[in-house]
Structure 1
């Protein structure tokens, strides 16, 4: 009988302990995911600017050799959701840049390389943003360095970390738009013939990456 009493008392104590430790609060969790607008960036013709065949006899021995400007179309489509976004341009051939080849009005940060053969650098090119529009309305290019303040731009592209966007009024701030259309104008300049190895074919090999980011 003593064992039974002892057991009964033990159960009573455990029940009392459970009542004393009962939860009097609960946690509410609210979940979800907010995703950025699904903007697609594309260039007409896969972004290829083709200068075709250039005869070595056309090139000056002692002066840089500018070529005709060529263009490709730029399109950014964000569907039905307006978005603020910008684009950066990274030169994948920066090590082949020929200093001063673009001439007056350009900085070296606007000079993209055209590749090299051995230690001989082929040339350089510039990129300019033109004819920016959204839903039929003209846009003006703006730019900033890293996270600095936005300022006006003449459209001449400076390489990353400079970022480009577009405004639709007098305020220097990116406009929220559904679609952007524009033109990338490219102007190549071939190095002096005396600095090239003209005993072999030389491939013009400029490559740059455009990266879209949301603002």
Structure 2
């Protein structure tokens, strides 16, 4: 972008006998890739994880209550082998009672009911089993998945060290268990005189790499 001197400054330079102006510039590059390959994710049971009905007396008053960690079968089918990552977008953002969890919705207008975490295990592709990888920096670096719960903002992918570095690898068909662990906040912080819904919701996104 060319930079211009203010009008008054330009006039002063001209009276000094200078009639030449040096131009400064920098370049902008707009880049990207349009891929013809499409990957379609699908979840068993319509993507619903139902923890059933819990009595208030079965929940902990002074500590959180873990409801369990069931899993859903996730499949990702691509038109051709493609490198991709998965990201879960929290549709109940700011409703989790802990920052490292996804939200379970608000009750009584402003009370945070609890939260849930997410994990993946038992990944297989058309070429056999594969490692689960996680990235906290949007795919710049990857590490093995060593915890059950991936925090919000984490990208998940599937790969190995075939390139010499731990990286996602091209996959055509993926099958993996997606584990959802739900937690209810301590009940002495909640008003539970009426039935309230466990209302977690999120969107699983495929990110092409």
TM-score for the superposition, normalised by structure 1 = 0.74
TM-aligned CA distance change 1:61 to 1:158, over 3 Å: closer
Q: How does 1:199-214 map to 2 (within 5 A)?
A: 199-214=193-208
Q: Which runs of 5+ in 2 are unaligned?
A: 1-32
Are the counterparts in 2 of residues 85 and 174 from structure 1 also a CA contact under 8 Å?
Answer: yes
TM-score for the superposition, normalised by structure 2 = 0.76
Structure 1 runs of 4+ off > 6 angstroms? Answer: none
Q: How does 1:1-215 map to 2 (within 5 A)?
A: 35-79=35-79, 81-99=80-98, 108-109=99-100, 111-117=101-107, 118-135=109-126, 137-144=128-135, 145-154=137-146, 156-160=149-153, 162-169=154-161, 171-215=165-209
Structure of larger gyration radius: 1
Please give the secondary structure, in 2, of the residue aligned with 1:186: strand
Q: Which structure is higher in strand share?
A: 2
Aligned residues: 172
Aligned to 1:4: none
Q: Which structure is higher in helix share?
A: 1
Tell me the CA shift for residue 154 of structure 1: 2.0
Q: Which runs of 5+ in 1 are unaligned?
A: 1-32, 100-107
Tell me the CA shift for residue 143 of structure 1: 2.3
